[in-house]
Structure 1
C-alpha cells in the first residue's frame, strides 16, 4: 500500500503550492469549494491514508472507497475521513458542486478527541446520503467557514472548530436513535473499550507497521492485565460478540484491504496478520468469504 499522504503532499498534488501557515503551532485548517472537472481531465486519486482529517460534501453520483467498503453515492452525500482509514474517490468529474474542509489532529489539541466520534472510528459509518433539504442545511456551514477563515477575527479558529463539530453532530444525529441509547459506564464497558482500542491500534498494516503482535484473546488479556475469562465475559456483555469474533472480523477486514490495495503477496499478508502458515490464512479467509485470497484479489 502506498505511504500515507502528508498535508504538504496533498497541497502539492492538488494545487502545486504549499501554504505558509501549514506548520502553524495551533494546527492546520482550510476549506475549499469543489471545482467542476472536465471528463477525461481527472487524475486518478490513489487509495491511501492521509495524515489529516477531511469532511467533504458532494453533489453528484461518485463512488467512495474506504477501508474494505465501496459506497456508490447516488445523488449527494457527506463523507468523513481520518488518518487511520485509507480511501479514494472515483468518478470525480461527476461532482456537480461541493465543499470540503481539511484539518489535522493538532488543530483540536485540548479541544477534544475526534476519534471518540463514530464518523471517525474504523467501524463507524463514514458516508451519509443526504436529501435536498439536508444539503441546503449543510451548505451554510461551509459558507460560514469561508467567511471566518478570511476574516480578521482574533478567535476565528474557535469558530471554525465549532463549525466542524456542527458537521460531525449533523451526521451522527442522522443515524438511528437506537445507536445512542445510554449504557451504564461500568467495568465491563471500560474493559471492552480498552480491548477494542488495542485491536484497532494494530492497524493498518503498512511499511511502518509491518505486522501485528496480538492475535488471541489471551494475548489481549495479558496486555490488559485481566483474566481471559473476565475479558471474554465483558466483551460479550457489551458488544454481543465474542473476542474471537471481533479479532477475526478485524483480521478479515485488513486482509481484504491488503489483497485489493497492496502489492504484498499472499504469504507476506498472511505473516503480517500473524498466521504462521499460509495454508492457515487461506483456510481462514475461505471460511469467512467462500473465496481463496487469490480469487478475491483477482475477482
Structure 2
C-alpha cells in the first residue's frame, strides 16, 4: 500500500497556490516536534478549481475539514454524501478519497500524531473516538456550530503566519476545540465505549509509556524500553500485549515504544543542548552509533543533521 506523505501533499498543492514547496511550510515549524498546517479551501478552489482525481490509499497525517459545500467521500469501502456544513475527521489508518460535487468553501487542517502529543495526556489520536478505524468520520453541524468551527479555523489560519512565540501551543488548543466539537456530535454510546479488559490494558500501557517522559536532565534514564519489559510490568504475556495493541492501534508494541522514543529524541535534539551521547544514554542506547541507527528508522537524516537542519523534513 502506498502512502501520501506531507511532502507529496505539498507538491500537489504548490501549483494550486502559486507558491514553492518551502513557502508552504509554516514559519517556525522547524522548532516543533510534529507538523501542523491549515488551508482555506475556498482560496484553493478559486485559484485552480482543485478537484482530486486519484484516490490516496493511505496518508501519513490526520486531517480535520470543515466542508460548507456538497461533496462525497469514499471511506472504508463506503460512499458518504456530505451535505453543507460538515466536520470531517480523517485518519491515516483508513483509505479515503474526497470527491467535490460543486465549488467548495471551507477549511482543512492537517497534523501528525506527534504534534498533539503535549495535549492529549498520553493518548494518541488513534485512541480518540473520532479517529477510530470503524467510526463514522462525517458530522453534520448546526448553523451555530458551523459558524463556531469556521471561527476556529479562521483563527488558526490567521495565527499560523504570526511570529508569536507560543503560537503552536495556541494552535493545539484550537485543534482540541475542533475535537471537542466533533465529539459533541457523536452518539453518547460511542463517546463512552465499554472499558473491556483489552481497552484497559491498552490504556495502562499508554499510561506506563508516557510516565517515563519527559526527560528533564541527562542523568535520567528510560526504565522500560522493550515489549517484554512492559509486558512483565503489566503482568501479561508479551504476545497478548502485542495482540491487544495491534488490534487497537494497528501498530506493534515495539513500534509504539520506538515511536515514542523517537519523539522524545526529537524534542531533546531541538530543545536542549545535551550532547548526542547524553541523549543516547538517557534513551537507553549503548552508544551514539546505535542511537543514530535507531533514529534513522524514524527520520530521513541523522540525529546531528536533524538538530542543525533549518527545516524539519516532513
TM-score by length of structure 2 reads 0.56
Match of 1:57 in 2: 66
Q: Which deviates the most, 93-102 or 173-182?
A: 173-182
**8 Å CA contact retained: 1:118, 1:125:** no
Distance 1:18 1:94, change over 3 A: same
Distance 1:73 1:39, change over 3 A: farther
For the aligned residue pairs, the C-alpha RMSD in angstroms reads: 3.6
Q: Distance in 1 between matches of 2:98 and 2:49?
A: 15
Q: Distance in 2 between matches of 1:222 and 1:156?
A: 41
Which one of 108, 111, 116 corresponds to residue 116 of structure 2? 108
**8 Å CA contact retained: 2:65, 2:108:** yes
Q: Which deviates the most, 7-16 or 20-29?
A: 20-29
1:62 positional shift = 0.5
Match of 1:82 in 2: 91
Distance 1:188 1:67, change over 3 A: closer
- Match of 1:102, SS state, is strand
Q: How does 1:97-176 map to 2 (within 5 A)?
A: 97-112=105-120, 113-176=124-187
1:89 positional shift = 0.6
1:4 aligns with 2:12: no
Distance 1:45 1:38, change over 3 A: farther
Q: Distance in 1 between matches of 2:239 and 2:50?
A: 51
Distance 1:78 1:180, change over 3 A: closer
Match of 2:268 in 1: none
Match of 1:275 in 2: none
Q: Distance in 1 between matches of 2:137 and 2:93?
A: 12
1:190 aligns with 2:190: no
Distance 1:37 1:62, change over 3 A: farther
Distance 1:53 1:40, change over 3 A: closer
Count of residue pairs brought into register by the alignment = 204
Match of 1:94 in 2: 102
**8 Å CA contact retained: 2:52, 2:98:** no
Distance 1:151 1:69, change over 3 A: same
1:43 positional shift = 4.4
Residue deviations 1:31-88, cap 9 Å, x none? 1111335998734142321111111111111001112222101333111112211111
Residue deviations 1:265-296, cap 9 Å, x none? xxxxxxxxxxxxxxxxxxxxxxxxxxxxxxxx
Q: Distance in 1 between matches of 2:241 and 2:172?
A: 38
Distance 1:43 1:73, change over 3 A: closer
Match of 2:79 in 1: 70
Residue deviations 1:195-233, cap 9 Å, x none? xxxxxxxxxxxxxxxxxxxxxxxxxx982179xxxx9xx
Match of 2:294 in 1: none
Distance 1:115 1:25, change over 3 A: farther
**8 Å CA contact retained: 1:45, 1:89:** no
Q: Distance in 2 between matches of 1:191 and 1:42?
A: 43
Match of 1:224 in 2: 240
